[in-house]
Structure 1
Amino acid sequence: MESEKTFKTKTGFCHILPDKIILTRDGVVGNVAKVTVGNNIARTLVIYGAITVGLFYFGYEAYKNGQTLQPILFGLIGLYLIYGIVSSLNNSATPTIDREKIKDVKLKKAIKGLTRSRFEVLFEDENGKIKKRLIMLPGSLTDGQNETENAVEIMREEQLLK
């Protein structure tokens, strides 16, 4: 077994070491992600929350002016964002995961043309809470199929994916 195995992700690379998983960011997409999200998902959730409040406000204003389609549309989009915020509360953006703290790794396959494949890594953080780290794989425009097959093979060789 090699000491390190690496595969491409959406924003950089995933390095599988004997004792931990390290996610690095590379290139333009990685630099943008580093600036906008950093190592914490809270900033993104606050932005989603602000957009939701704005949507509800504009929906309410449109309702007061006698419109019906805009308030319904803004309300549905706002509810969808609230669902996204609630379902993302246990997500983590940590770049390093100790392998001994990993509870489970699942592969979510892509829906062609709609989503990209990803690994969902459930692990225990330093506070003892179970968190989920998404490892997004490259999309269909960047050879996603081959990169996904390579990543799955590495995760199986390292006995992280069953």
Structure 2
Amino acid sequence: MSRTRKFRTKNGFCHVMPDRIVFTHSGFYGRMGDIAGNGRMVRLLVLFGAFTLTAFFFAYLNFLKDQWFWAILFSVIGGYLFYGILNNLNNTIHPIILREAIREVKYVKSNSVFGYPFFEVRFKNAKGKIKRRLITLPRANGKNANDIREAVQLMAKEGLID
């Protein structure tokens, strides 16, 4: 039996194995139906694209009616959504990451009480493109502080972070 270690994430568990990293919902690795995510961000990006186009359309309509406040407001909203799309083009929710494909793992602490700490994993996918997978940890409050510490120690012990 292969050696596997796991830690709790915001939406399930992350299993760190000698040859790969696997994300599951229940914490038991073995059933393929339990693996978290399907590797596609396309649906989310299309939805954000539709919202972006709608915002720019309303900005244009308000510009034609000389309603400058609403035109500027919808332009800013559309620009913000477009920036979000560009920022997330290289993100993935792929459920399995091979260890040999991993280029870099960074730990990012939570900036506030409301934020989540996370690991940012950069890896090369099957098509040779560098992708980014965020491993979001539980919120950094008192009861989850031990889980976060264990996750950071496990990733350091596995040699993925410094």
1 CA distance for matches of 2:12 and 2:80?
29
1 CA distance for matches of 2:142 and 2:70?
37
One-letter amino acid of the counterpart of residue 4, structure 1:
T
Per the alignment, residue 69 of structure 1 pairs with 69
Q: Deviations over 1:115-146 (max 9, x none)?
A: 21111111111112211111111124694433
In structure 1, the gaps of 5 or more residues are: 27-33
Q: Secondary structure at the match of 1:149?
A: helix
**Contact 1:102–1:123 at 8 Å: present in 2 too?**
yes
Per the alignment, residue 84 of structure 2 pairs with 84
Q: Secondary structure at the match of 2:24?
A: strand
2 CA distance for matches of 1:83 and 1:144?
32
2:21 counterpart of 1:21: yes
Q: Secondary structure at the match of 1:113?
A: coil
State TM-score, norm by structure 2. Answer: 0.85
Alpha-carbon spacing, 1:59–1:143, altered in 2? closer, same or farther (3 Å): farther
In structure 2, the gaps of 5 or more residues are: 27-35
Q: Secondary structure at the match of 1:154?
A: helix
**Contact 1:137–1:144 at 8 Å: present in 2 too?**
no
**Contact 2:38–2:95 at 8 Å: present in 1 too?**
no
One-letter amino acid of the counterpart of residue 102, structure 2:
I
2 CA distance for matches of 1:161 and 1:141?
23
State TM-score, norm by structure 1. Answer: 0.85
Per the alignment, residue 125 of structure 1 pairs with 125
Per the alignment, residue 153 of structure 1 pairs with 153
Per the alignment, residue 104 of structure 1 pairs with 104
Alpha-carbon spacing, 1:110–1:12, altered in 2? closer, same or farther (3 Å): same
Per the alignment, residue 48 of structure 1 pairs with 48
1 CA distance for matches of 2:76 and 2:25?
34
1 CA distance for matches of 2:5 and 2:59?
50
Name the Cα RMSD after superposition: 2.1
One-letter amino acid of the counterpart of residue 151, structure 1:
A
Q: Deviations over 1:17-39 (max 9, x none)?
A: 1111001134xxxxxxx6xx742
Report the alpha carbon displacement of residue 58 of structure 1 after superposing the two structures with TM: 1.4
2:58 counterpart of 1:58: yes
